[in-house]
Amino acid sequence: MSEEIDLSTVLSVLDDEYAREILTHTSVEPMSASTLSERCDASLPTIYRRLDRLEECRLVTEETELAADGNHYSVYSANLDRLELSLEDGAFDLELTYREEDVADRFTRMWEGMR
């Protein structure tokens, strides 16, 4: 686990229903905050607060997409691949495994967002 992310922080974030829903939805496809607001039936401020906490733990990533009208907006993707919690010798250990995106896939997604 990353040294700057501790067990209690991650468990606190994952204890939140909205945070878990955000992870679930964004594990399928990248989504904007407004789309997440609709899917999670939560206000935009609630979604943004949860996204901030998830980003702090590196559980989601933010990318900028270009809209057809030239404006840009952020989309969020789950970055968590695996979470393993173990208890050994009287201490908990949390191991987070993050998704690794293929460079070609990332470039394709970026290119498609520019069209």
pLDDT of 114? 61
Task: Tell me the mean pLDDT in the region 24-43.
Answer: 96
Per-domain residue ranges for the chain? Answer: 7-113
Fold of the domain spanning 7-113: Arc Repressor Mutant, subunit A (1.10.10)
Distance CA 96, CA 60 (A): 12
The token pair that represents 6 in the structure block: 């501790």
Name the residue with higher pLDDT: 115 or 57.
Answer: 57
Local confidence band at 100 (pLDDT 50, 70, 90 cut-offs)? confident
CA–CA separation, 8 vs 16, rounded Å?
Answer: 13
Return phi, psi of residue 5, to 5°: -110, 115
Instruction: Please answer whether residues 77 and 65 qualify as being in contact, where contact means their C-beta atoms are separated by less than 8 angstroms.
Output: no
Mean pLDDT of 104-111: 59
**Torsion 111-65-21-5 (CA) sign:** positive
Could you tell me if 63 and 77 are in contact, meaning their C-beta atoms sit under 8 angstroms apart? yes
- In angstroms, rounded to a whole number, what is the distance separating the alpha carbons of residues 22 and 8? 19
**Nearest residue to 20 (alpha-carbon basis) of 50, 45, 49, 41:** 50
Averaged pLDDT, 85-98: 91
pLDDT value of residue 17: 97
Residue 70 has what pLDDT? 83
pTM of the model: 0.79
Burial of 50 (0-12, 13-18, 19+ CB in 10 A): buried
